[in-house]
Amino acid sequence: MTNDFSFQNTTKVHFGKNALSKLSAEVAPYGNKILLVYGGKSVKRIGLYDKVVNELKKADVEIFDYDLVKPNPRHTDINIGGKMCKDNGIQIVIGMGGGSAIDSAKAIAALAVADTDNCWDLVVARKPITKALAVFAIPTMASTGSEMDASCVISNLETEQKTGYNGPAIRPKVTFDDPTNTFSVPPYQTACGAIDIMSHTIDTKYFSKDDKMDMLYRMMDEHVKTVVKWAPVAYNEPDNYEARSNLMWAASWALNSFMTCGVRQFLSVHAMEHELSAVYDMVHGHGIAILMPRWMRYILNEETAPQIARMAYEVYDIAKDTPVMEAAEKAIECTEKLFFETLGLESKLSNMNIDDSRFEEMAKNACGANGVIKGFVDLYPEDVVNIYKMCL
């Protein structure tokens, strides 16, 4: 029976080729001092930076630039952004780029009104963020779904931790989703993003101890199938609008809670992957790709097989008369084939200069204070080490 749930997602979405034409009108009610949060050159190269600035100037605004965004945003960089907001009376923080840019915008927006100047204090406090500057999002990748969710992830390179904070105040007020802004995403990043999207369904709700409402379970099937279908198209045809728009909207849906209702969210693969990112600065979606099929194989047993087999039947169109355990194996094989052949990702950590020397420590961190990753199947440090070793 479906668990009781509460649901609300207030983000307004402007989607499509003309999404940004709404920008100045949406900004106006929130103020006129804006921090533009982005990273490096790509938003300038594709002309997005100029387009956004020109749109914003239709309103009478003052723009400040924060261009320190990197993959896996550092807490020290967020602190710089927080100080910029406090020093300049910023009212609106616009994250422009991939998940790292939008997460940075959220983290900065919360820090800007906090009693501390160190965002890691907010991480450690573990309290929902209830006040922040207004956050806007202009995603340029289909990946994290940060544009409609209420959380951000920050890395602390000193402690080698990757975690974050969340709360209604940092959910973007408005997101401007123009699929053409993702045309220039290179194939490798397109693949990593797509796998991240897929994992947000698989790893948080599709495989789960909780009963799923039939309607939502069906929609999860179709969500994953959408990624399986369109990721290879976008990988091979970067300018394919249909592929890019399906992936972009699928990214938002994966974490906007539309399909989650009633299922407790766990993140087994994410917990293991965060250690790979934190210790080896690996691209998140690539780490997920390496871990996910190995995790599926590791947890496959009589009890978990029906859910994994469903993925075979409903997502990969494996014949429904295939026996459950055989179908589950096929789901794993299809997933590996998609990630490591069709989308061309390296499958072995050993080919990426990673050996087993830190696996014990990473497994311990992944399991956290309680010594276990709770989820579809609970994982203890020895399980996590075993899964890491399967990835060598």
Binding site for its own copies (CB under 8 A): 1-19, 22, 213-216, 218-219, 221-223, 225-226, 229-230, 241-242, 245-246, 249-250, 253, 258, 261-262
Per DSSP, the residues of 73-108 read -BHHHHHHHHHHHHHHT--EEEEEESHHHHHHHHHH
Tokens, residue 42: 């790509």
Smallest gap from Cβ 199 to its own copies, in A, equals: 17
Smallest gap from Cβ 299 to its own copies, in A, equals: 26
CA dihedral sign, ordered 286, 291, 139, 102: negative
Measured from the CB atom, is 177 or 383 closer to its own copies? 177
Q: What kind and span of H or E run contains 63?
A: strand 62-66
Smallest gap from Cβ 91 to its own copies, in A, equals: 21
Smallest gap from Cβ 60 to its own copies, in A, equals: 24
Smallest gap from Cβ 35 to its own copies, in A, equals: 24
Measured from the CB atom, is 103 or 314 closer to its own copies? 314
d(CA 177, CA 258): 18
Smallest gap from Cβ 83 to its own copies, in A, equals: 33
Q: Facing residues of 338 across strands? A: none
Task: Using the structure block, give the residue that is written with the tokens 């989703």.
Answer: 177
Measured from the CB atom, is 72 or 245 closer to its own copies? 245
Smallest gap from Cβ 213 to its own copies, in A, equals: 6
d(CA 36, CA 271): 30
Q: What kind and span of H or E run contains 44?
A: helix 42-45
Measured from the CB atom, is 11 or 208 closer to its own copies? 11
Tokens, residue 113: 């009104």
Measured from the CB atom, is 39 or 179 closer to its own copies? 179
Measured from the CB atom, is 12 or 41 closer to its own copies? 12
Smallest gap from Cβ 2 to its own copies, in A, equals: 6
Contact 14, 177 (CB under 8 A): yes
d(CA 338, CA 60): 48
Measured from the CB atom, is 213 or 267 closer to its own copies? 213
Tokens, residue 91: 């009212």
Task: Indicate the angle between helix axes 214-236 and 187-201, nearest 10 degrees.
Answer: 170
CA dihedral sign, ordered 253, 257, 259, 263: positive
Q: Facing residues of 65 across strands? A: 36
Smallest gap from Cβ 245 to its own copies, in A, equals: 6
DSSP one-letter code for 114 = S
Measured from the CB atom, is 143 or 245 closer to its own copies? 245
d(CA 374, CA 33): 43
Measured from the CB atom, is 5 or 380 closer to its own copies? 5
